[in-house]
Structure 1
Amino acid sequence: MFFLFGLTSRERMLFARNATCHFCGQYVPQRVLQRRTKLTVFFIPLVTLNRKRLMVCSNCGATSKISAGQQRAMAG
């Protein structure tokens, strides 16, 4: 008997908001993404192992991690 298991990562764009990029210094739209990594068995996602919130600059493409509190502050 064998088990087919692995990890899958999915990204979802939550929202975009104008802000100053920490890397290039430009005031441009910043996309806020959520990346989830899940354990799968027979291609069925079972458990979320990792959840990251990322801010991506539309000008330079730089990516930085943000906390849940920072995400709520940017959304509201």
Structure 2
Amino acid sequence: MFFLFGLTTREQLQFTGQSSCRYCGQFAPQQVVQRKTKLSVFFIPLLTLRRTRLQRCTRCGGTSRISGSEQRALASAAF
């Protein structure tokens, strides 16, 4: 008997808000992206192994990890 398993990583854009970039220092639109890594068996995703929140600058392309509280602060500033 054999099992087909693997890892799949997907990115989903949560929202875009105005903030200053950590890299270039410019006040520009920042995308908040959620990246999920899932374990799949027979091409069916079963478990989420890792969930990461990222802030990506649309001006310079700099990407950094953010916490849940930083994501909520950016979300409240976006709307």
TM category, shorter: over 0.9
1:57 aligns with: 57
SS at match of 1:23: coil
SS at match of 2:74: helix
- 2-side partners of 1:21 and 1:70: how far apart? 13
1:46 aligns with: 46
TM-score (norm: length of structure 2): 0.94
The AA in structure 2 aligned to 1:3 is F
1:6 aligns with: 6
Structure 2 spans left out of the alignment, 5+ residues: none
- 1:74, distance to aligned residue in structure 2 (A): 1.0
Aligned identity (percent) is 59
Moved over 2 A (4+): none
